[in-house]
Structure 1
Amino acid sequence: MGPVPDPAVSALLDAATTVRLRPVFEGNNISYAIGFKHINYVAEAAVLNHFRLAGLPVGELYRRYGLGLEIVELRSRLGALLAVDDEVEAEVTPATKADAGELTFQVGLFVLRDGQRVKCAGSTVRVLLRIDGHITASEEYPAGLARFAVERLGTGDRRELAVTPRPYGGFTEGRGVTGTSDPVLAQLVGEDNAFGWRWRMPYFYCHFNERVQMSGFLRVMEEAEDLFLADRGLAIKEVLDGRGWIPVVTQSRIRLLDETVMEEELYTVYTIEDIFKSLLYTARMDCYVIRGGALVHTATGTITHGYLTEHAPNQWSMATLDEATIEALSSPKGART
């Protein structure tokens, strides 16, 4: 039997917590609904509050122990609509196994609808504590915390770089490079039903002086989807104006496989995996950097999309994908709307 954990670590591992949160106004892009990225942000905020209530807030973990809190996996299933004015009751339940080296939490997001408690989303959140080289810890770790502290976040798979990278255009290159005109993107996309995007990671997607954080990859996922749809002739504004359709997310997952460093060039490949019953399509996102002359796989994830149709002002229902849309999703040379 090991040493008795510090009370703060015991609270982190054993005590469920509840907090009331509101989504950020930035996430209200269509009608009065909140989008998937900001629903995930609410789950993240609930986990950060759980650490705070246990007595191990993020800032103190960093300042006292030299540990950067890293969400390394965020998996969410989205159900009922989350509205811009909703107050969310977020329940965090610890789910870390006794021998696990990652902290795991189940997060449920609930709102009141006509007096009924409705679950908007459920998430699984996995956390590691990254030992930071920028500072020196001033205190010993609380008992039981060391097993979650790591020198590095994963070691992503390395694959041969079979082409010569094209020099990046610098900070003025805007939203980066898309398509297979870039030789590295051409290698990664190959013959798959996929879309490639290369972009330098900005500091405002990062934290702890160095690394792209989970929220940054949520933004990359959303941006890759936006660029992909435009490339396939399904630009969101055009489809919204022409058909009253808007993409809706039912599930999302992102896992960090390695570290992506501030201002590294991220090669993102967005691959359509499945189109289900003319209602939903699933895409996989894979992110790479070039390091030491090889491609390093730093993140992966999946997202399931459908379309909502506005059949009356502020009234939405699932749309059935027509043949032109399915063809556009199915092939880089598909039909254009």
Structure 2
Amino acid sequence: MIDVDRLLGTTTVTSLRPSYEGANIGTIIGFKHVNYLVEQAILDHFRAAGAPAGRMYEDYGVGFDVVELDSRLQTALIVDDVVEAEVTPKGADDTGIRFAVALHVERDGAPKKAVTSKARVALRADERGSARRPLPDALRPLVIDRITATGQAVPAIDPAIHMAGKDGDAVIAALTEGRNAYGWKYRIPYFYCHFFERMQMSGYLRQMEEVVDLFLADRGLAIKQLLDERNWIPAVTRSHVRILGETLMEEELYTIYSVSDVFKDLLYTSTMDCYVVRDGVLVHTATGSITHAYGTVDNGCDGQLVTFDERVQRALHGAATA
């Protein structure tokens, strides 16, 4: 039985380990897998309240969807870390259940806060799911028919952009025209989705990870090139993804990535916006941002941040690199 009071009002603590897959450079865990830990901690919070995601779907026909993650990375997570995750409910309304999540690791014999995250979970009714049991009355107002950005400010789409009859290259050209931006079209595979049809949060995190890689290569700052030349790697200090609507399996997703700010030669922030074209209409399905620095890494995990030189500055601002 679901303990709604515990789900919506009690902090839980769980121990997790990062996935080995996330250690791509040395032993440091990348931002995508850091966010996976946040999602896993919230799933454990639901389990502790008697509401595991599988049973919610099987018994009540309700899907668990993380629809927003805003994570700040303060200390690098290492592949062998034991992560203590603290999940605190922060209220609920028709946009979902909000949580604050803190990830702690041990450093020099003492606990240290490594990540703080704000998250939101939507409970989405699913026509394929069965409803073998009545949903608890306290949760019924939180179940939605479709994931939308209801009650939130949605970035505006230029009404002059009309997509009917345009091919993929033309859509990207329209979305990037006059901007310091990079565009990418990708057919959404089934393994980015869940509950039979819709893209889940991990799929958007994958999009963000890959579009950064493609952008940097396009600007002459390919990851391997800077590793070989300078021992530089990108280091994420913050990532934010918000789902605005549903992207469906096998749709063509247009991901637009644009540098929005460069701060003191140390950090740069970029935006990510995701779109699909349905019946000739451009639909904005997700938005987000990511803040990067560059750092050097020695002995697998130890390193320090570096300042951007002219080459990096020119590339980030859209100028050609030598």
Q: TM-score, normalised by structure 2?
A: 0.94
Once the two structures are superposed, residues 225-270 of structure 1 have per-residue CA deviations (whole angstroms, 9 ceiling, x without a partner) of 0000000000000011101100000001000000000000000000
The correspondence for 1:242, drawn from 220, 229, 236, is 229
- Please list, as runs of the form range in 1=range in 2, the aligned pairs for 1:77-156 lying within 5 A after superposition: 77-97=72-92, 101-154=95-148
Alpha-carbon distance, 1:206 to partner: 0.4
- Please list, as runs of the form range in 1=range in 2, the aligned pairs for 1:44-59 lying within 5 A after superposition: 44-59=39-54
Once the two structures are superposed, residues 56-113 of structure 1 have per-residue CA deviations (whole angstroms, 9 ceiling, x without a partner) of 000011001000001110010000110000000000011115x554101110000111
- Please list, as runs of the form range in 1=range in 2, the aligned pairs for 1:21-40 lying within 5 A after superposition: 21-40=16-35
2:18 matches 1:18: no
Inter-partner Cα distance in structure 1 for 2:242 and 2:215: 21
Deviation larger for 114-123 or 130-139: 130-139
Tell me, what secondary structure is at the counterpart of 2:28? coil
Give yes or no for contact 1:18–1:92 (8 Å, CA) kept in 2. Answer: yes
Give yes or no for contact 2:13–2:85 (8 Å, CA) kept in 1. Answer: yes
Give yes or no for contact 2:189–2:250 (8 Å, CA) kept in 1. Answer: yes
Give yes or no for contact 1:164–1:183 (8 Å, CA) kept in 2. Answer: no
Inter-partner Cα distance in structure 1 for 2:57 and 2:133: 11
Tell me, what secondary structure is at the counterpart of 1:29? strand
Provide the residue aligned with 1:278 in structure 2: 265
Percent same amino acid among aligned pairs?
A: 50
Give yes or no for contact 2:28–2:301 (8 Å, CA) kept in 1. Answer: no
Provide the residue aligned with 1:315 in structure 2: 302
2:64 matches 1:69: yes
Tell me, what secondary structure is at the counterpart of 1:142? coil
Tell me, what secondary structure is at the counterpart of 1:95? strand
Inter-partner Cα distance in structure 2 for 1:66 and 1:164: 35
Give the unaligned 5+ runs of structure 1.
Answer: 1-5, 169-181
- What amino acid sits opposite 1:96 in the alignment? G
Inter-partner Cα distance in structure 1 for 2:304 and 2:258: 26
Once the two structures are superposed, residues 131-185 of structure 1 have per-residue CA deviations (whole angstroms, 9 ceiling, x without a partner) of 10113311111120012110110067665643555557xxxxxxxxxxxxx1000
- Please list, as runs of the form range in 1=range in 2, the aligned pairs for 1:140-219 lying within 5 A after superposition: 140-154=134-148, 159=159, 161-163=161-163, 165=165, 182-219=169-206
Inter-partner Cα distance in structure 1 for 2:297 and 2:21: 21
Inter-partner Cα distance in structure 1 for 2:289 and 2:301: 28
Alpha-carbon distance, 1:296 to partner: 0.2
Number of aligned pairs?
Answer: 316
Give yes or no for contact 1:200–1:266 (8 Å, CA) kept in 2. Answer: yes
Tell me, what secondary structure is at the counterpart of 1:183? helix
Tell me, what secondary structure is at the counterpart of 1:105? strand
Provide the residue aligned with 1:176 in structure 2: none
Inter-partner Cα distance in structure 2 for 1:238 and 1:70: 37
Inter-partner Cα distance in structure 1 for 2:137 and 2:300: 56
- Please list, as runs of the form range in 1=range in 2, the aligned pairs for 1:1-16 lying within 5 A after superposition: 8-16=3-11
Give yes or no for contact 1:72–1:256 (8 Å, CA) kept in 2. Answer: yes
Give yes or no for contact 1:9–1:143 (8 Å, CA) kept in 2. Answer: no
Inter-partner Cα distance in structure 2 for 1:215 and 1:160: 32
- What amino acid sits opposite 2:148 in the alignment? G
Once the two structures are superposed, residues 265-301 of structure 1 have per-residue CA deviations (whole angstroms, 9 ceiling, x without a partner) of 0000001000000000000000000012110000000
2:37 matches 1:42: yes
Tell me, what secondary structure is at the counterpart of 2:3? helix
Change (3 A) 1:315 1:130: same
Give yes or no for contact 1:73–1:253 (8 Å, CA) kept in 2. Answer: yes
Change (3 A) 1:135 1:313: closer
Give the unaligned 5+ runs of structure 2.
Answer: none
- What amino acid sits opposite 1:231 in the alignment? D
